[in-house]
Amino acid sequence: MGAIITGTGSALPARCVTNAELAERIDTSDEWIVERTGIRQRYIAGQGETTATLATEAARQALSAAGRSAADIDLIIVAKTSPDNSFPASATKVQALLGAPTCAAFDVQAVCSGFVYALSIADAMLAVGSARCALIIGAETMTRLLDWEDRTTCVLFGDGAGAVVLEANDDPARGIIASRLHADGTQAPMLYADGGVSTTQTTGMIRMAGREVFRHAVTNLAQVLTDVIADAGLNSSDIDWVVPHQANKRIIDATVKKLGLPAERVVMTVDRHANTSAASVPLALDTAVRDGRIQRGDMLALEAMGGGFTWGACLLRY
């Protein structure tokens, strides 16, 4: 049994903040942010907007696009780094808000790679028949983990959510074809939150060695994409759209250049959304589906890299 995406959705907070607005209170400039990252604006969650409420809004859109209702769902996975509560899982909150049945619902923590991890886990669960219709969501309020005194990180992140409905299907021409997941815990000091439940009893704030992360990101992402394309017996020229993690335009450009792929085949939303961690890939996917770039039958390559380090890629026929 394969797994096909039957609907996508996304959600953004109401408040959009431009680089120029940030530059009014932080020692930075629109020019620096655009040149080094490609980011022009980000959405910042306000009162009442949380990871779970954004996830639920994205999920409702995805269900509607798939022609499904909450009653059809038998698995919910939320990829996130910034939960509403330390427990229970954000997925159970989404389940309650949607009024979904008492199906399995759990979170995946792989930071920016979380959605690719969640998709791969759901694909395996659908393949063995433990679910037939899954909601896979990436949702974050990363701006609540930011140190607004640290200009090297606070200009980079934004909030949002993206979701897909993934359904079991035996059409061999469609669906998830191959995926690869990796992690290297020795690199944790490069990108982490400096707090947590069992250490400081606080959430901590994001700390990042930007240049090091950048270097690893390009190397790891180019390699994992090459591997997953080879696993599927394809060539990079068979990829219609790369849907990358949206951390930095320069990382995306350098990665696809290594694969010999033209920039026209890359979905780029980092300018609008900034880095929304686990939400960035499904947000970009939904954006390109809704604006008509991604069409049924297209071969997609999803990839992401984040704290841990974690990284991975997933190939699918949409």
Instruction: List the catalytic residues.
Output: 112, 245, 275
Q: Minimum distance from CB of 155 to ligand UT7 (Å)?
A: 4
Query: Nearest to residue 234, comparing CAs of 297, 301, 172, 304?
Result: 301
Q: Is 275 in the site for ligand UT7 (CB under 6 A)?
A: yes
Q: Is 112 in the site for ligand UT7 (CB under 6 A)?
A: yes
The mark string for 149-188 relative to ligand UT7 (x by CB under 6 A, - otherwise) is: --xx--x---------------------------------
CB-CB contact of 43 with 273 (8 Å): yes
Q: Minimum distance from CB of 251 to ligand UT7 (Å)?
A: 5
Long-range contacts: 188-196, Cβ < 8 Å, 24+? 188/307, 188/308, 188/309, 190/216, 190/307, 190/309, 191/111, 191/306, 191/307, 191/308, 191/309, 192/307, 193/81, 193/145, 193/307
Q: How far apart are CA 242 and CA 230, in angstroms?
A: 15
Query: Nearest to residue 309, comparing CAs of 112, 139, 146?
Result: 112
- Measure the N-to-C terminal CA separation of the chain; round to a whole number of Å: 16
Q: Is 203 in the site for ligand UT7 (CB under 6 A)?
A: no
Q: How far apart are CA 269 and CA 82, in angstroms?
A: 21
Nearer to ligand UT7, 26 or 234 (CB): 26
Nearer to ligand UT7, 9 or 307 (CB): 307
Q: Is 37 in the site for ligand UT7 (CB under 6 A)?
A: yes
Q: Which of residues 290-309 bind ligand UT7 (CB under 6 A)?
A: 306
Q: Which of residues 230-259 bind ligand UT7 (CB under 6 A)?
A: 247-248, 251
Count of other CB atoms within 10 angstroms of residue 96:
13
Nearer to ligand UT7, 192 or 318 (CB): 192
Nearer to ligand UT7, 33 or 178 (CB): 33
Residues 6+ apart with CB under 8 A from 315: 176, 177, 178, 179, 228, 229, 231, 232, 234, 239, 299, 300, 301, 302
Q: Is 313 in the site for ligand UT7 (CB under 6 A)?
A: no
Residue with the CB atom nearest ligand UT7 in the bound state: 210
88, 195, 204, 210: residue in contact with ligand UT7 (rule CB under 6 A): 210
Nearer to ligand UT7, 10 or 255 (CB): 255
Site residues (CB under 6 A) for ligand UT7? 28, 32, 36-37, 112, 151-152, 155, 210-211, 213-214, 217, 247-248, 251, 275, 306
